[in-house]
């Protein structure tokens, strides 16, 4: 079986942050069967979707990864909707709308892949990915391919069982609701307008929300209270319109971003005695400072 593989692949322009270096081997499976072929033959391979919430080391990564972005099987039957992990949120929103199905409107502006969205139980505008899920197709080293029902996923705010166990999402099935296309489109337009007003566009390289909201309060509000909108480290700066976003001004390194995240965390901890939890993942080689910052920030 031929599986697409690129060696010494520069992922810089592949990531939402537009930060990264060369990765030794990158596999691009197009199906579950190809995914199984890779994990069965390649040792210590890591799995990623669309790098929408991943900070990749400026020094790259001396290892192998799987990128699921080309896994694009799907089917629609009545109000049931199945999609592989590689589909991006905006495309799923439009496909569901065309079928007259409601439930994916909130994903119209999401840069990430379905697998990542399920893993973190992504949400926006009063909807979340777990609202309409019925079952999830997964893989783990111990069990191979298996199915989890919704109640087995332990969904919560920005949380699923994937944070507890080494589970990879391969696809998910949903039960959506029939609705007029025009009504769905209006909600999608409204969601896009909200996103444009509250989050930086992808023309400003960023990784989405940097920190999770602590229970009962907003990370953005806490960061604004400490003046984080003025924070700059190297080529990384806090977005002037919302304190919970970091943008790459053009020449930011992974160390710049980590140092800025540390500055933000320290500020909130000193003023409010609250430890912020990062949403950002890290991939790649670490210099001494980056290793220290990842441990302090508890970035996996």
Going from N- to C-terminal start, the domains of the chain cover 4-70, 74-198, 219-297
Residue of 57, 209, 243, 254 marked active site: 209
Residue of 37, 123, 135, 158 marked active site: 158
Q: What is the CATH number of domain 4-70?
A: 3.30.43.10
Give dist(CA 41, CA 64) in Å, integer.
Answer: 12
- C-alpha angle 18/34/76, rounded to 5°? 85
Q: What's the distance, CA 52 to chain centroid?
A: 5
* Residue 209 bears catalytic tag: yes
> Which pLDDT band, with edges at 50, 70 and 90, does 17 fall under?
very high
Give dist(CA 1, CA 267) in Å, integer.
Answer: 52
Q: What is the CATH number of domain 219-297?
A: 3.90.78.10
Element (H, E) at 56: strand 54-56
* Residue 158 bears catalytic tag: yes
Identify the sign of the CA torsion 18, 19, 20, 21.
positive
Using the 8-state DSSP alphabet, how is residue 136 labeled?
Answer: E
In the predicted model, is pLDDT for residue 29 greater than 90?
yes
pLDDT digits (tens, 9 = 90+) for 122-170: 888 888 999 999 999 999 999 999 999 999 999 998 899 998 899 999 9
- CATH architecture, domain 74-198: 2-Layer Sandwich (3.30)
pLDDT digits (tens, 9 = 90+) for 181-205: 999 999 999 999 988 888 888 789 9
Q: Is 74-198 the same fold as 4-70?
A: no
Nearest to 147 by CA among 51, 70, 32: 32
Residue of 173, 255, 279, 290 marked active site: 279
């Amino acid at each position: 079986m031929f599986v697409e593989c690129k060696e010494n692949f520069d992922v810089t322009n592949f990531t939402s942050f537009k930060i990264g270096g060369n990765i030794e081997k990158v596999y691009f499976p197009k199906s579950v069967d190809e995914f199984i072929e890779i994990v069965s033959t390649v040792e210590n391979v890591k799995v990623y979707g669309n790098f929408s919430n991943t900070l990749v080391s400026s020094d790259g990564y001396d290892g192998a990864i799987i990128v699921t972005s080309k896994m694009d099987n799907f089917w629609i039957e009545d109000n049931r909707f199945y999609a592989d992990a590689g589909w991006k949120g905006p495309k799923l929103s439009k496909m569901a709308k065309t079928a007259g199905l409601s439930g994916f409107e909130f994903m119209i502006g999401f840069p990430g892949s379905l697998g990542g969205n399920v893993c973190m139980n992504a949400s926006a505008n009063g909807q979340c990915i777990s609202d309409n899920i019925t079952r999830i197709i997964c893989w783990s080293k111990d069990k191979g391919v298996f199915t989890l029902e919704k109640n087995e996923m332990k969904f919560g705010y920005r949380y699923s069982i994937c944070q507890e166990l080494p589970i990879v999402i391969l696809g998910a099935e949903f039960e959506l609701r029939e609705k007029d296309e025009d009504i769905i489109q209006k909600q999608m337009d409204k969601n896009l307008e909200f996103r444009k007003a509250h989050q930086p566009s992808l023309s400003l390289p960023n990784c989405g929300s940097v920190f999770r909201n602590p229970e009962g309060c907003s990370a953005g509000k806490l960061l604004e209270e400490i003046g984080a909108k003025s924070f700059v480290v190297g080529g990384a700066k806090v977005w002037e319109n919302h304190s919970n976003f970091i943008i790459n001004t053009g020449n930011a390194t992974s160390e710049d971003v980590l140092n800025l995240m540390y500055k933000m965390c320290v500020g909130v901890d000193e003023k409010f005695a609250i430890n912020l939890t990062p949403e950002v993942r890290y991939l790649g080689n670490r210099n001494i400072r980056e290793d220290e910052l990842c441990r302090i920030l508890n970035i996996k």
